[in-house]
Amino acid sequence: MHIFVDFLQNNFSYYLLLVFLIGLVVGSFLNVVITRLPLMLERGWKKECCELLKIDKNEANEERTFNLVYPPSHCPFCGYKIKISENIPLLSYFLLKGKCKNCKKNISIRYPIIEIISALSVCFIAFIFGVSIQAFFAIVLTWALIALSAIDFEKWYLPDDITLPLLWLGILINTFNIFSDINSSVFGAIFGYGILWSVYFVFKLATGKIAMGHGDFKLLAVFGAWFGWQNLAPIMIFSAVIGIIVALTLIINKSYDKNKGIPFGPYLAFSGWISMILSPYLISSYLNLVA
């Protein structure tokens, strides 16, 4: 292992290429997570409701096993089982011209977009952090944020199945001072959740409306746990600015629904990701601005 690490450090271009290729492969898996995890959660919720209401399993129309592995990859329209040769990240989409080989229905453009975002973003992380333990965990967080952003964009919620493990992982790794010290990490998690929960509570009390979901509280807590409480203010400010710009753009284009709003998770995720890269600069700039 040590020899392999030394090789990557001495051959940085090979390191970046390796990370890029792994990013493509994991990006393909992220598409599975984005598609299937919400369905798995919804089926679980239905099952729990049926148990609570004492509805017979036959009435609940319990479906066959469905998870991230089973059933194998298939066309959502015709059920055609996708072969390994037809499931090569990015390449297969263009070889198939964005269509199912069997029924010729269009394949969502989301699939190659997620794969290329995954590959480019982790490659950038590898370039910034080099061959290091910080790079490894930053890449893991990056993949999780991509999945969370896409799910929130499509389904309007951030699954606890991703945010909560990230929260505990952030505290765990910072017991070894990977990104922050343990005290800043713990208080970051507390303040991250508490600040947005307070905004949510006050807004709901004043207007009777819900401004954001609980997943947003947990995601900010994740960033607090990973990067310390010092990064919370820059992350909140940057995400709010992005959200306002997007909202104004939608209003100008007359495509904004005030009753529906916009999902905040993707902007929060992007802000946290940027903060991970520019953390020292952001904190110093923020403190200078306040001073």
Delimit the domains of the chain by residue range.
14-125, 132-291
Tell me which range, 11-15, 55-59, 95-99, is most confidently predicted by mean pLDDT. 11-15
Question: CA end-to-end span of the chain, whole Å?
Answer: 47
What is the pLDDT, as a whole number, of residue 6? 78
Nearest to 29 by CA among 78, 65, 73: 73
Q: Is the per-residue pLDDT at 59 higher than 50?
A: no
Give the residue, 283 or 206, on which the prediction is more confident: 206
| Encoded amino acid at 120, one letter | L
C-alpha dist (Å) from residue 251 to 212, 240, 247, 260, 261: 19, 16, 6, 13, 11
Tens-digit pLDDT profile for residues 76-96: 777 778 788 778 888 888 888
Read off the pLDDT band of 282 (50, 70, 90). Answer: low
- In what helix (H) or strand (E) does residue 93 lie, and over which residues does it extend? helix 91-95
- DSSP letter for 80, please: P
What is the pLDDT, as a whole number, of residue 2? 76
Q: Choose the weakest-confidence range: 48-52, 59-63, 124-128.
A: 59-63
Tens-digit pLDDT profile for residues 110-134: 989 999 999 999 999 999 999 999 9
Read off the pLDDT band of 280 (50, 70, 90). Answer: low
Averaged over 167-179, what is the pLDDT?
95
Averaged over 172-189, what is the pLDDT?
94
| % of the chain beyond a pLDDT of 90 | 42
Hunting for tokens 């952090």 — which residue is that?
129
The token pair at 112 is 């190659």
What is the pLDDT, as a whole number, of residue 286? 54
Average pLDDT in the chain: 85
The token pair at 173 is 């790794």
